[in-house]
């Protein structure tokens, strides 16, 4: 990787954030995300009178397989469709700066969405005395899962000039990581451990119990770095062509 110029990266981040904040789709996506997560948070409160984040952390990976690709599908795909990516590649911006700045801007939006979930946490403390380790671990797992699926979405956006195609690819790859953990118990015993580790389920459930294991942190950051790297490689190939 080339050395990343901080000033260039900030310029590109501001450009992307301005686009997010000045267009309706981002607000619509965030509103839908909060409505769905709010439902799965409130459901056990009314049905079982349990005040915790268990129901939410179980369903959040599936929600994010839709939300993260939807948020990131336009990042490169739109640039390719309007051919502004060709202009970007002729300016003094490296592929690393372009991909990383777009990823950071989308990350700011997705983390902001998660911050809007904090009323759920205050509700838990108001209704009961929840385990703080469980709360911190659950929120950390949601953030890391979001950032992981977002990196997949950024990579998917480099593949096609169609936002719909980019969304489908991003959703498909994210769903594989979601599904792998679900099918692990049905795999041969000698590969169950490996399959479980590849799936995102194991790492979220570990952290949701309040167990912050370095292996889980490495897993999430490895996913993020891997797909960001693939996105950079795709852009480099475009410049060569």
Phi, then psi, of 138 in degrees rounded to 5:
-65, -45
Enumerate the domain spans of the chain.
6-240
For 87: left if phi > 0, alpha if psi spans -120 to 50, otherwise beta; the answer is alpha
Share of the chain above pLDDT 90, in %: 52
pLDDT of residue 50: 67
Structure tokens at 239: 């410049």
Neighbour count for residue 190 (Cβ, 10 Å): 7
pTM above 0.85, yes or no: yes
pLDDT in tens, 95-113: 999 999 999 999 999 999 9
What is the pLDDT averaged over residues 212-240?
A: 91
Q: What is the pLDDT confidence band of residue 148, given thresholds at 50, 70 and 90? A: very high
Quote the CA–CA distance of 146 and 180 in Å, as a whole number.
Answer: 17
Segment 126-155 shows an average pLDDT of: 91
Which value, to the nearest 10 degrees, does the dihedral of the CA atoms of residues 213, 155, 169, 15 take?
Answer: 110
Q: Is-contact 5 97, C-beta < 8 A?
A: yes
d(CA 94, CA 200): 31
Q: Do the Cβ atoms of 154 and 103 come closer than 8 Å?
A: yes
């Amino acid at each position: 990787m080339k050395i990343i110029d901080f000033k260039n990266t900030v310029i590109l981040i501001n450009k992307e954030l301005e686009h997010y904040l000045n267009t309706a789709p981002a607000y619509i996506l965030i509103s839908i995300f909060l409505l769905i997560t709010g439902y799965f948070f409130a459901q056990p409160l009314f049905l079982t009178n349990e005040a915790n984040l268990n129901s939410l952390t179980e369903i959040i990976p599936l929600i994010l397989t839709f939300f993260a690709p939807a948020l990131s599908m336009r990042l490169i795909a739109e640039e390719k469709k309007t051919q502004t990516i060709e202009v970007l590649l002729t300016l003094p911006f490296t592929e690393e700066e372009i991909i990383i700045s777009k990823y950071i801007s989308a990350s700011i939006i997705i983390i902001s969405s998660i911050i809007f979930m904090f009323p759920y946490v205050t509700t838990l403390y108001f209704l009961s005395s929840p385990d703080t380790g469980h709360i911190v671990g659950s929120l950390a797992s949601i953030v890391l899962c979001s950032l992981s699926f977002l990196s997949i979405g950024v990579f998917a956006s480099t593949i096609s000039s169609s936002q719909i195609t980019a969304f489908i690819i991003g959703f498909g790859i994210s769903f594989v990581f979601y599904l792998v953990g679900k099918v692990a118990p049905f795999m041969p015993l000698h590969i169950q451990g490996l399959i479980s580790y590849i799936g995102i389920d194991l790492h979220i459930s570990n952290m949701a119990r309040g167990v912050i294991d370095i292996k889980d942190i490495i897993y999430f950051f490895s996913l993020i770095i891997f797909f960001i790297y693939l996105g950079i490689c795709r852009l480099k190939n475009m410049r060569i062509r």
